[in-house]
Amino acid sequence: MKSLLKTMAAAAVVIAPGVAFAEDSNDPIIIPIHNWSSQIVMSNVVGQMYESMGLNVEFVTTDSQAVYESVRLGDVALELEVWEGAFGASFREALSKGGLHDVGDHDAVTREDWWYPMWTKESCPGLPSWEALNDCAAVFATAETGDKGRYLDGPVDWLKHGQERAAALNLNFTVINAGSAAALWAEIGAAEADKKPVLVFNWTPNFAEAVWPGEFVEFPAWEDGCDTDPTKGPNKDELYDCGNPANGYLKKAAWDGMKDKWPTAYCVLSNISFTNPQIAEMAKLVDTDDLEPVEAAEEWLAANGDAVQPWIDSCS
Ligand code: TMO
């Protein structure tokens, strides 16, 4: 009860309390949640914005690739973080089947790829070029990987294709999928005291950039079709021989039926555009400050109400 009152008080202070929008359905707007912090907090931020407008919201935890099929079928209303690198392929496939559409890009520019904390360069000075990796494979070796280097990739559902990348570029590395985002941060944290070289999947915007200065490995530049056409990229026989897009988009997507069922909520969604620092802060509130996602969203809105209120006002 205490936290409910706190929630209501925070929402009332931060965002002007809304009148229910007669045109919008009372059915809950179902917002999908995945397994990295900014997406979870952003979903709660937008959910709290909708609640402040008198709309009903529900959250469901879903697989981050299968969600595009769920949006297309209207099982969930929208997706707030379509990262080009991780989800571009699933998004494009769902678009081609119909039922969901692109509701525009966030201001944020994104990158997701193999990454290392800066101290790693002392043992592998040829970085960030990917061509330095094989010369340094031994410095990334562990008991588990023998004489191969260890690369800790993201959880499997992010479909980062690290194994295929290593094979297509002939990298002497063993690719291991982390069980969760937290396992990536634990790997960096454990290496920090001894400045042990490590290579992990990471992305921006994220909280990590404020905690551990580091760099992405520069792989052969992304070419459209690198994931579908073997002739793209330096290895003419294999897919995934390119880095992820270095200036990737971050899109919003919606079920085609959303604009008729919840026109005001849809209007707000189309206005929403978060920046790199805003998204990094959403992640930080959970990953560094240890807040629960609901509280992180309240805190974020308390500090950023001025930015979001116009997106609501212009739709009412
Ligand atoms: C999709 N992600 C931001 C975790 O790379």
Mean pLDDT for all residues in the chain: 93
Q: What pLDDT is stored for residue 290 in this prediction? A: 97
Beta bridge partners of 250: 83
Q: Which domains does the chain have, with CATH numbers?
A: 4-109+247-313 (3.40.190.10), 111-216 (3.40.190.100)
**What whole-number distance in Å separates Cα of residue 145 and Cα of residue 165?**
17
Q: What pLDDT is stored for residue 316 in this prediction? A: 83
**What whole-number distance in Å separates Cα of residue 43 and Cα of residue 48?**
9
Q: What pLDDT is stored for residue 94 in this prediction? A: 98
Q: How far is the CA of 72 from the centre of ligand 1 (A)?
A: 21
Q: What pLDDT is stored for residue 17 in this prediction? A: 55
Q: What pLDDT is stored for residue 16 in this prediction? A: 55
Give the SS3 label for residue 34: coil
Residue 277 preceded by cis peptide, ω within 30: no
Ligand 1: lining residues by beta carbon, under 6 Å? 36, 83, 86, 112, 158, 203
Q: How far is the CA of 177 from the centre of ligand 1 (A)?
A: 14
On the CB side of 149, how many CA atoms lie within 13 Å of its CA? 27
Give the SS3 label for residue 41: helix
The CA angle 310-314-315, to the nearest 5 degrees, is 125
Pocket test for ligand 1, best of 83, 90, 207 (most atoms within 8 A of CB): 83
Q: What pLDDT is stored for residue 119 in this prediction? A: 98
pLDDT tens-place values along the chain, 316 residues long: 333 334 444 444 455 555 556 699 999 999 999 999 999 999 999 999 999 999 999 999 999 999 999 999 999 999 999 999 999 999 999 999 999 999 999 999 999 999 999 999 999 999 999 999 999 999 999 999 999 999 999 999 998 899 999 999 999 999 999 999 999 999 999 999 999 999 999 999 999 999 999 999 999 999 999 999 999 999 999 999 999 999 999 999 999 999 999 999 999 999 999 999 999 999 999 999 999 999 999 999 999 999 999 999 999 8
Q: What pLDDT is stored for residue 14 in this prediction? A: 53
